[in-house]
Structure 1
């Protein structure tokens, strides 16, 4: 069965269909039960009538003359009886045939038979008399029983049939009243400003609609968060890109106006540095946008030690230029489950921040260690560190602790936190008890690997 698309019409079709089906089944069962009871009642009347005739034949004298019984009731033509004495028809009703309606049988046992005589179907009860030469037959036309059954069922079913339209209207009203909260929700949503993302509130919403409202409100919350992030990303990107672009423009203007080749070269170097800063900022913005969209990539078994060695090797020239001591303490392999590109970006951002914000001749230690079921990456330095207030603000986009900080995008910590969250890692920042500067610890769930997969004797 193809149901209508409208929920109200679907409920009406289902409810009225079920009511009609139940009503029809009940009517059929009532018909069968009433017919059975009427047959039993009328069969008992036939048996009682036959018993009376048997008793009457015992009290009367033998008489070979056939007599017709008078018609005393309108149903009398539909009921017949016969009394046979020594095979001859004696007392009988006017419409009785001249031959026995059914053979009594050799055992002369009283029995009911349904027979067809002269195109009509009869229900006949045959019984022997008290004397062996007397047979008594009482019959009733089946159509009379059908007429009685129809009269009884008509009296019982017509009121119920007449109530069906009333029931259908009541069902329509009840269903329409029941789905009215959906129409109320439709009107509420139709009146809303398309830009509105506040929660939908309905004071008298039924319990069944509450999950729908909760899901709708959660959807609005997610859309609002996405739009806020997009607006914040656009505004922040425009604001942050303005500075390197202005610096590039200024250096380019100086290079164009400067006749001295050495000074012009110095300005052009500034242009290149500005381009590098802008490119780095764009890369950071794109990575952060990817993380905001939930695109953390496919996870696989990743060796953090190898990623740390590669990231430190790339950053080491800048650390050497500042006469810093950059050291790595890591086992042969330290395996976690994650995305290699994102995890390398996390390590690179932490080490780059330590190198960038630590003064010359500072010490920077990077270590990897196994602590129970966790793998801990620690980056600490001997720089000035951060105050408790600044530690609380770490992770805010474009936040920079001090105005005199070296150039940077201010997005590194936001990226680190998002990557850690995507990998189920915990991140903690505090003052380093060993070096006095900033200590950052990122705790990853250790990956379960077989002994055959170990690549070093110094695994985490």
Structure 2
């Protein structure tokens, strides 16, 4: 079975993905702005540090009594320096350095202004007519670590945002699509015979034209089916009385005739009228099957109905009815009248089209599986597929009207029962079998 996507699930996933994507875009934009502003602040700190330290360093250098070589600025307490500096002459001779400086990161000759290497960013200032330079260095890893901490702090709320977004979006979509879900359930619980109007209050505007179109279509279909059923029922009903009168008069005429050839012709006419009478009865049953209710709210034991019909047909076909019924009752919500019409047509179909030398088996299990089996030749698969259609017979020589299985199919479809046809019958190499489960749950 092909999986059908859910509108609620799809909408929820798209909304959650959109919220997460927008949050990531916002974090990326904020990180870009923070990185730019952070670089401005750190560059300002480099420049400010160089401008503050250089006058003090020059004063210290000029106040020396003698040339004692490069000196290291003392530290009040041991600590790690993020900003280190060196004071040098124009030729690169070192005059003063911070206590934790790594001279390998500095270039051979001093430079003024901002510049950077693969590991550090520098700012240099010259004084005393360009003879003394100070260069302050900051590790780029320091800036990267600060930027990473800020970015992670912006991403941490996303861990809480995802579950809360999921709960919020699920609740909102469920609330917004509540009427759509109600519409889905109303359509799902309908059977094939329910053509009443679909009504859902406060349905979203996008679905309103769809429901209006569906209701108009159902109304047209209901009118068409009602007209067809009315025509079938009225035609069959109106034919019964004239046919009965014609048969009675024909039988009286047959008793008065002495000419044998004429009697034979009258018998053929009588036979045709009887077939027409049976056809009218079947059409009336079909109209009832298609238009009537096939389910009851209360449970009914269907075993006595099977026994009663089997006894009736045992007189018409002695020795051919074979019952295999459970000892306990088999109760169903299937309407007793509808079930009687269904079983009567199955029995007549088996007697009419089956082998007259073999019995008709009516087998009912305790779980409600009904099987009607008759012997006879195997029905080809292409004919088996169309036997449920009206006026279709597997054997054109039989006396049936080809409408019995159509009546059975109409009843089972209305009741939501699956009807299965097998030829040969299951467990045999010949015959025909009809199988269905008569336990209907309302």
| TM-score of the two chains, using structure 2 as the length reference | 0.49
Q: Which has the larger radius of gyration?
A: 1
